[in-house]
Amino acid sequence: MTKALNIAVVGATGNVGREIIRTLVERNFKVRRLDAVASENSAGKEISFGNDEILKVINIKDYDFSDCDLAFFTAGGKLSRELCKKVAAKGVMVIDCSSYFRMDKDVPLIIPEINAAAMSGHHNLIATPNCAATQMLMALAPLHKHAKVKRVVASTYQSVSGAGKAAMDELFAQTKSTFSYSPIEAQVFHKQISFNLIPHIGDFLDDGDTDEEVKVVNEIKKILDPAIEVAVTCVRVPVFIGHSVAMNVEFEDAISVKKARELLAKFPGVVVHDNVEDFGYITPKEAVNYDDVYVSRIRPDKSVKHGLNMWVVSDNLRKGAALNAVQIAEVLAKDIKTL
């Protein structure tokens, strides 16, 4: 029987931090005390924890982690780089939702349904993957085990919530401005996001890829198989919540559409909604507030010997971030000695 834990959510006022708090409640995670921690600008704000409790946000500069069992870090790579290892050294189990430690060879990068065993030897620090990579991997993992994935070519269609609350506010403001014939202002994104698509997420690298695209490639290799070749274009779309990915997957061995559907339907956390008819697929709007990864439009790729095309949709704030982090915590909480 697991004990109730003292938990800190760092970045509690952000999209992912709020969703982690909500997910802890929904999954009845055993919490003795929950501390909402954020920057000086957010200190003193109030956040709901369940139906009855109101948390007052604590300034990260004033927070003492010494009485904490578990800390979720959701405030970005800069703060994670500064604090995660220091907090872990105090004996606190740290789950980091930033990209900073994902490719560190000494830090496990975990999706519990796929590689929970890799958490051994974690040194009190575990990283969660990129949101788009997570939903791709949830669809790829059961197929890879059966037919061995050789190559993936994908285009992501990522909602603005992945860029934070300010990005969501910008989409809302630009949409209003469009209908009121007011000037469009772009501050978070480089170009107008309302009624538009932007093939640019993250910073450009010398070879023309963005760092978001490199994250997806590297994380698929680290979690599933370093031999898989991956090419991806990441696109920001005018959707508030919910990422979508169009994937072309080439396999070493033969795999039928029927078999793929069977394997995906049996995999925890994946739902196959794939009817060859109008309304026979899932859109990001329908995935919001749900934990599962949805796979639709599974069909043969006739351009290669063994290939499938598929459409993968998920709530990026749930399985793509908060839910995955809480699932990691659930695994760890079973081992009291770990905490």
Cβ(16)–Cβ(317) under 8 Å? Answer: yes
Q: Where are the beta strands (DSSP E) in the chain?
A: 5-10, 31-38, 46-49, 53-56, 58-59, 70-73, 93-96, 125-127, 149-158, 229-236, 243-251, 270-272, 293-300, 307-314
Question: Is position 84 annotated as part of the catalytic site?
Answer: no
> To the nearest 10°, the Cα dihedral for 74, 17, 116, 158?
-80
For strands 307-314 and 243-251, give the pairing.
Answer: antiparallel
Token pair in block for residue 189: 């994104």
Three-state DSSP class for residue 145: helix
Question: Is position 131 annotated as part of the catalytic site?
Answer: yes
Output b/e per residue, 55-91; b: 16+ Cβ within 10 A.
bebbebeebebeebbbbbbbbbbebbeebbbebbeee
Half-sphere exposure of 128 (CA within 13 A, CB side): 32
User: Which of 68, 97, 131, 234 is an active site residue?
Assistant: 131
How far is the first Cα of the chain from the last one, in angstroms, to the nearest whole number?
14
The CA distance from 202 to 213, in Å, is: 8
With CA atoms as reference, report the closest residue to 67 among 8, 132, 137.
Answer: 8
User: Which of 122, 144, 243, 273 is an active site residue?
Assistant: 243
Token pair in block for residue 192: 């107008």
Cβ(243)–Cβ(311) under 8 Å? Answer: no
Three-state DSSP class for residue 330: helix
Q: Which residues are catalytic?
A: 131, 243
